[in-house]
Amino acid sequence: MWRNCSQRNGFGIATPLKIPVNWSRVLRLQGATRINPEEVLKAAEAGNLEEFIRLYEADNNRLSVKDSKGRTAAHQAAARNRVNILTFIHGQGGNLNAQDMVGNTPLHTAVENDSLDALEFLLKIPVVTNSLNEKKLAPVHLATEQNKVNALQVMGKYRQVIDIQQGGEHGRTALHLAAIYDNEECARILISEFGACPRKPCNNGYYPIHEAAKNASSKTMEVFFQWGESKGCTREEMISFYDSEGNVPLHSAVHGGDIKAVELCLKSGAKISTQQHDLSTPVHLAAAQGAIEIVKLMFLMQPLEKRISLNCTDIQKMTPLHCAAMFDHPEIVEYLVKEGADINAMDKEKRSPLLLSSSRGGWRTVMTLIRLGANISLKDANSRNVLHLVIMNGGCLDEFAKEVCRTQSEIYLLQLLNEKDDAGCSPLHYASREGHIRSLENLIRLGACINLKNNNNESPLHFAARYGRYNTVRQLLDSEKGTFIINESDGEGMTPLHIASHQGHTRVVQLLLNRGALLHRDHNGRNPLHLAAMSGYTQTIELLHSNTALHLATMENKPNAVVLLLSLGCKLLHNYMDMSAIDYAIYYKYPEAALAMATHEERSSEVMALKSDKHPCVTLALIASMPRVFEAVQDNCITKANCKKDSKSFYIRYSFSCLQCPALYAQMDARTGEAVQISKPIPLPALNLEEISPIA
């Protein structure tokens, strides 16, 4: 408590009286009114020392009271520059190093609020100066980051209590922060008054001069150059400092993208051909960023270095032209080519700028390079040409083809169509795999071969089936040679139907079945139904299993199995495509299976009477597609008596039932070609009989 003793005693006390903590409860008035702790904070903020003392005397624990943000009375006093409050708190042994919820001490708060008197008082004590807040900033870092020049000057008076080389986030010193934010005056103060050294790297290996260059802090860079010169270090030496990644400041300046910082580095002696650890030059970086003005500036200021830089390759053997092409910067690509860059240079993967831009989807650059005369016949390390890469990466084949034909020659384009890569795949394989319908159409239109096989003996249809490309499968089947590739097998004996079934692509399976895919077995004896079952695709299983055993035996052309199944009473059902077993025998032209059904001893008449949407009746279909089978059917219609020919009981009976259509579907409509329903059997039109009136 503060006391003013009587004047008659001859002396007075103007200093605070320190009261022991264990005495506070003894001296406190028991009947005192309860006081809100926040009043202490308000008194500290207002600088009302008398009120603050009164509240403290009531309960000296109130010095540690905090608001909702964790700030104590010391924080409030420091924020409002209340030195009298801070003096009293210090005199009472209060904590002047307490941290609020974001880690700020009263010293942080004094810096942030430009409370210079409070700042000087705290440094004079001194308080702890190296506490880091949540942002990893010590008070000197905070002053530098926020460009608090006056606060930094005050702190400079007490530099002996401040670790100026202390690192914050990523080990950055205050000088790093001055460089990042281009706080020129702060950088001067840190160097001149604190003795900060620009040769101190952060945890990432960057010097302050690199941070200045990277963040385009040209004013701070000049401060560093002046410091170097005062220490006998030339600008050329300063500009050649390597960081942990082998970057010189010019690399960092190009990263920052500030042309003034780049110009400053160049004027200070930086070479545009200087390579970092990955062997890339500043020209590589500028080209990759699309900074054409920076590239032009570098070539303008150092014309003798231009040719070296254009041909210089990084660790991937890429030139600056590769970098510009990779990131689709057509303006820089054109500029570099005009300046003498090799348009067909190959990188480590044997990619020219054209192949590289195609693989990265840089279509503007692709068109530019074609127009500039890039060689389109080159292949990369996987033997892929530019057409492979355009298709694989979703490019517009139509525009590509037009540009090649317009600026070079259609002959060059046609040479690319059926070229195979190391896997044996043509561009059409990749168009089928990716499901690029427009590219597929254009490739077929230009003359790409649809039945070309890769190293695994797979056609583009196999690829489309594997990846479930329904529209692609349909497009391939609709092509001129679609019927020839539908049942082709790969190296494992698997047809597109096998593959689609194995992957569970139900729509593709149904499409293939509708177009006539056969249920063959692969080299391991598995049919599509087996593969669908192995993978657990129930919808595909249901689709394939709608065929009866008789369907499957017919599709495999197994006549003995057909006879047995019929004899065992297997029903003559239609599957989901409304096709019976005899329909498949006729469709696939399997005479053995057809003969087994049409001449079966017990069920031949049932087979011949089957109706179908595919043909008017079984008889006409057999006459048209398998006449030899129908001859056997006719032979089966002749019945001889079981006795000798000279016996009076001998006879030969001829049945012409096979020459009649069933009650329905008796004849074809001449206009539409569809079956016409009638109510009674009539002779077949195949007999060429005129209708004859009965003789009276």
- From 460, 518, 514, 511, select the one nearest 493 (Cα to Cα): 518
Three-class SS state of 428: helix
Least confident segment among 184-198, 215-229, 338-352: 215-229
- Tell me the per-residue pLDDT of 493-548, one tens digit each, with 9 for 90 and over: 999 999 999 999 999 998 888 787 887 888 998 888 888 888 888 888 877 777 77
Please compute the mean of the pLDDT values over residues 562-581 and round it to a whole number.
Answer: 83
Of the pLDDT bands very low, low, confident and very high (cuts 50, 70, 90), residue 229 is: confident
% pLDDT > 70, the chain: 89
Tokens 């692509």 belong to 505
Residue 652: CA atoms inside 13 Å, Cβ hemisphere, count?
7
CA distances for 169 relative to 135, 141, 145, 166, 180, angstroms: 7, 10, 12, 10, 13
User: If you average pLDDT over residues 654-666, what whole number do you get?
Assistant: 61
**Would you state the pLDDT for residue 316?**
93
- Check: CB of residue 175 under 8 Å from CB of residue 191: yes
Average pLDDT, whole number, for the chain?
85
CA 582 to CA 459: how far, in whole Å? 31
Give pLDDT, residue 579. 82
pLDDT surpassing 90 at residue 258: no
Of 445, 447, 492, 500, nearest to 473 (Cα)?
Answer: 500
Q: Give the integer Cα–Cα distance in Å for 252 and 263.
A: 13
Per-residue pLDDT at 643 exceeds 70: yes
Residue 681 binned pLDDT confidence (cut-offs 50, 70, 90): low
* Closest residue by Cα to residue 394 from 454, 440, 333, 325: 440
pLDDT of residue 432: 92
Q: How many residues does the chain have?
A: 696
Write the pLDDT tens digit of every residue in 573-587.
887 777 888 888 998
Q: Which of 442, 439, 437 is nearest to 469 (CA)?
A: 437
Which range, 451-460, 580-589, 636-645, is most confident?
Answer: 451-460
pLDDT greater than 60 at residue 690: no
Domains annotated for the chain, with CATH where assigned, are 271-411 (1.25.40.20), 418-536 (1.25.40.20), 541-677 (1.25.40)
Q: What is the mean pLDDT of residues 60-73?
A: 87
**pLDDT tens figures, 588-637:** 889 999 999 989 988 888 888 888 777 778 888 888 889 999 888 888 88
* Neighbour count for residue 549 (Cβ, 10 Å): 14
Burial class (CB within 10 angstroms; exposed 0-12, middle 13-18, buried 19+) of 368: buried
Q: Which residue has the higher pLDDT, 366 or 657?
A: 366
pLDDT in tens, 20-38: 544 444 444 444 445 576 8
Mean pLDDT, to the nearest integer, of 30-54? 78
pLDDT at 13: 35
Model pLDDT, residue 39: 87
Q: What is the pLDDT of residue 651?
A: 75
**pLDDT, average across residues 352-362:** 94
User: What are the CA-CA distances from residue 272 to residues 94, 205, 244, 266, 332 (Å)?
Assistant: 59, 22, 19, 8, 16
pLDDT in tens, 274-313: 888 889 999 999 999 999 999 999 999 999 999 999 999 9
pTM of the model: 0.64
- Please report the pLDDT score of residue 493 as a whole number: 92
Mean pLDDT, range 151-175, rounded to an integer: 94
Residue 487 pLDDT greater than 60, yes or no: yes
Segment 170-189 mean pLDDT:
94
**pLDDT for the residue numbered 635:** 85
Q: What is the pLDDT of residue 570?
A: 84
Average pLDDT over residues 207-227: 86
The pLDDT of residue 155 is 95
3-state secondary structure of 160: helix
What is the reported pLDDT for 663? 47
Q: What is the pLDDT of residues 75-121, one digit of tens each?
A: 999 999 999 999 999 999 999 999 999 999 999 999 999 999 999 99
